[in-house]
Amino acid sequence: MKNHRGFTLLELLISVTIMVAVLLGCVEVLSIGIGFNEHLRTGRTTETNRQQFEEKLTDLIHRIYIDPNSNTSARTYFVGQTGMGMPVGQTVQPGQTISATAANNTGTRVGGATGAPAGASSSSGNSDSLLFTTIGRKPSAAALASTDDFETNNQNFGPQGGVAECSLSLSPVGDSKGKQGLVYRQQLPADEDATQGGYESIIEPDITHITFEFFDGTTWQTGWNTFNQTTRQLPNAIRVTYGLTNESVDYVLIIGVWLSNVTPQSPATQTGAS
């Protein structure tokens, strides 16, 4: 007759201990996996936002335009400088009122009195602000889909196409309402004042610092100012260096200026740096 022996208390305790250890290990592995997946998701989101920002910036710079037939008109210009003050060489008629007519419900309207905004400076170092005019602005989808007449569309959507006045800076001209990041200002139509008017919006909230350099066909310049040039020329390319929140390294992006006639074989005769 066979003897049937059950589990002893010690064996039962050892089994329970092993099971608990295995379960704790599984929970730890699962927790690490969830954390790693969240880290990847955050990283993908950050990288996607960064790529979208660079695409927007590239599109803007590709459309920079100055009138090739006039070296005196203030309606088109390109300026890279420190601060958002009045560019050296530009003048605005005394008493002139700047008004914004562009329609953009996502931004903050700025403008009114003339003159350089408070905080404008001309310190040395690479430029941290761009002021420029563009062509080829894409009409909004709502404007393209509208079947209303011209007057109604102009009232609802503002001017479409033509020369637009733009600026990029970490310092807004108007009230930022507590928002931070790289500020994009656009005004239609351009009014010959590079410093104000139009609507402002945050093009990228995670930008902590940004600088611009300009290739004159031979070397990289720290500033550029077509108001100060005898023969107005655009730089061959713009080098953008910027940093993001929670990033320890800077990113560098070089963008060609499509409408520039400056090349290494035909460099700019004067940079017009402010």
Low-confidence residues of the chain, pLDDT below 70? 1-7, 36-37, 39-43, 93-124, 137, 139, 158-161, 271-274
Q: How far apart are CA 55 and CA 114, in angstroms?
A: 33
Beta strands 182-187 and 199-204 are: antiparallel
Which tokens sit at 187? 């005004």
Cβ atoms of residues 166 and 134 within 8 Å? yes
Q: Give strand pairing partners of 239.
A: 213, 254
Residue 124: the pLDDT is 44
Q: How far apart are CA 146 and CA 169, in angstroms?
A: 33
Q: Which residues touch 142 (CB under 8 Å, ≥6 apart)?
A: 157
Residue 140 carries which DSSP code? P
Residue 75 carries which DSSP code? S
Which tokens sit at 51? 């790529």
For the chain, domain boundaries = 45-256
Alpha helices in the chain (DSSP H): 9-62, 141-145, 150-157
Residue 112: the pLDDT is 40
Residue 102: the pLDDT is 33
Residue 106: the pLDDT is 43
SS3 263: coil
Residue 29: the pLDDT is 81
Prediction pTM value: 0.75
Instruction: Give me the residue label for tokens 């919006």.
Output: 201
Q: Which residues touch 243 (CB under 8 Å, ≥6 apart)?
A: 207, 208, 209, 210, 249, 250, 251
Residue 267: the pLDDT is 94
Residue 116: the pLDDT is 31
Residue 56: the pLDDT is 95
* Rg (alpha carbons) of the chain, rounded to whole number: 28
Other CB atoms closer than 10 Å to residue 234's CB: what's the count? 23
Instruction: Give me the residue label for tokens 């990041």.
Output: 181
Q: What is the pLDDT of residues 1-34, one digit of tens each?
A: 566 666 677 777 888 888 888 888 888 887 787 7
Q: How far apart are CA 208 and CA 243, in angstroms?
A: 6
Q: How far apart are CA 157 and CA 143, in angstroms?
A: 7
